[in-house]
Chain A
């Protein structure tokens, strides 16, 4: 059974600081996703990572994937208040399929002045 673990689950940051969210998954998968969710809202796609060593960056967020370690990281650079949200990683449930995603529990990020 594929399991996805994120840590930390809660993160309080000061503006301007850097931090990393970690996502570990238990079995082989060929796709890893990062989503953002604001309170009471739906999920917004941030990144899709497809191969070992993949790195994608958008603004102050950078995601990477190490399929051998079954680990993805979401790095936040010089945090700003607008980044406050819950961040989820998700892994495709069955290798090679386009089917269901298995989500982590999410990391609730709060950026304070």
Chain B
């Protein structure tokens, strides 16, 4: 079946611009996660949704970062006033949700470059 998809695969933007990154989870997965991976590092947690609500947004670095999941499926990560330090690969993952349905399936990522 279809896996997690993310668009765009690559995004180049100028410092100070606004960007949106999209994630389509696996159908039926209620939990959705955003991570950020810098070169040579492990993924770093940003935010986790259970259904439409953000269950944990403790990883968002500052108020320039915001994410939504209005219908409990597709999610959009929004970054305002981008900075060069925001350059990274942004990964989305989804899982079935629930105490015993814990395996997270990752998408291919969006490579964001801020010039």
What chain B residues lie within 8 Å of A31 (beta carbons)?
Answer: 102
A97 to B98, CA, bound (A): 9
What chain A residues lie within 8 Å of B107 (beta carbons)?
Answer: 42
Residue A74 is within 8 A (CB to CB) of chain B in the complex: no
A98 touches B108 (CB 8 A): no
**Minimum distance in angstroms from B53 CB to a CB of chain A:** 13
**Minimum distance in angstroms from B7 CB to a CB of chain A:** 14
Residue B28 is within 8 A (CB to CB) of chain A in the complex: no
What chain B residues lie within 8 Å of A92 (beta carbons)?
Answer: 102
**Minimum distance in angstroms from B38 CB to a CB of chain A:** 11
A93 touches B45 (CB 8 A): yes
Interface size class of A (residues with CB under 8 A): 20 to 34
Please count how many residues in chain B sit with their CB below 8 Å of the partner chain's CB atoms: 30
B108 touches A41 (CB 8 A): yes
Instruction: Contacts A88-B42, A90-B42 given; indicate if A42 touches B99 (C-beta within 8 A).
Output: no
Residue A57 is within 8 A (CB to CB) of chain B in the complex: no
**Minimum distance in angstroms from B89 CB to a CB of chain A:** 9
A66 to B97, CA, bound (A): 25
Residue B104 is within 8 A (CB to CB) of chain A in the complex: yes
A106 touches B108 (CB 8 A): no
Interface residues of A in 95-111 (CB under 8 A from B): 96-106
In the complex, what residue of chain B is closest to A93 when comparing beta carbons? B45
**Minimum distance in angstroms from A110 CB to a CB of chain B:** 15
Chain B: residues with CB nearer than 8 A to chain A?
Answer: 31, 33, 35, 40-45, 48, 50, 55-56, 58-59, 91, 93, 95, 97-99, 101-109
A sample of 7 cross-chain residue pairs with beta-carbon separation below 8 angstroms, ordered by A number, consists of: A35-B106, A45-B104, A45-B105, A48-B102, A92-B102, A101-B35, A105-B42
